[in-house]
Amino acid sequence: MKIRVRRKSPQAYQHGDLREALIQAGLKLLTEGGVETLSLRAAAQLAGVSHAAPYRHFRDKNALVAAIAERGFRLLTAAMQAEAALAKPRDSRERLTALGIGYLHFATQNPGYLRVIFGGVLCGDDPPADLRAAGEAAYGTLREAIVDGIAQGELRTADPDQLALASWSMVHGLSTLLINRAFEPQVAERELATGVLHLLGDGIYAERGRP
């Protein structure tokens, strides 16, 4: 027999899980209505609690946003890894491209998350340790693939952090430009990602015996 899970009745969050309920409510607001719709009061209402209650669990709105950004970072990491697993890359270059495609795909499917993550939460004096850790995890996934590629002789022997920063900047830039409709894409998402990443791979300078 299955145990019946309590729906969100007024007393459902008195056991200390109001914090989690508020995060879930914020996630729902963000994904369904965008970053504008994400408010502390609306989250409280969705969790069935007064508008002042969240302050028992979050210092201010930014603290809730940071918690949501952390979830977003983890989802982003998962999206990259999922794409890399699905693509069954034969080498580090293909793996790197797959990670990039996963990143871009997550961005276009979840623009709200991207806006929350890179919208200023990291700018505060003391970004929560959870959030920083989630960011490190995302970066680590990229860095690993790059270290691997250097070891395999597939990538230029250079500072892996330098290569990671270039790759991250490229894919993140493309993602934000696309999300904000800064340009009109002429090709599909995958082609966009593979296109710029191959340019990063082979370089945009001429010379060195090219057709």
- Residue numbers of the site for a copy of itself (CB under 8 A)? 93, 115, 118-120, 122-123, 127, 135, 139, 153-158, 161-163, 165-177, 180-183, 186, 195-196, 199-206, 208-210
Cβ atoms of 115 and 35 within 8 Å: the answer is: yes
| Partner interacting with residue 210 (select from DNA, a copy of itself, none; CB below 5-8 Å by kind) | a copy of itself
- Residue 49 touches DNA, criterion: CB under 7 A: yes
Cβ atoms of 196 and 104 within 8 Å: the answer is: no
Cβ atoms of 174 and 102 within 8 Å: the answer is: no
Q: Which of 131, 116, 100 is nearest to 195 (CA)?
A: 100
Judged by beta carbon, residue 24 or residue 39, the one nearer DNA is 39
Shortest separation between residue 197's beta carbon and a copy of itself, angstroms: 9
Judged by beta carbon, residue 14 or residue 186, the one nearer DNA is 14
- Residue 78 touches DNA, criterion: CB under 7 A: no
Cβ atoms of 31 and 25 within 8 Å: the answer is: no
Cβ atoms of 197 and 155 within 8 Å: the answer is: no
| Partner interacting with residue 170 (select from DNA, a copy of itself, none; CB below 5-8 Å by kind) | a copy of itself
| Partner interacting with residue 200 (select from a copy of itself, DNA, none; CB below 5-8 Å by kind) | a copy of itself
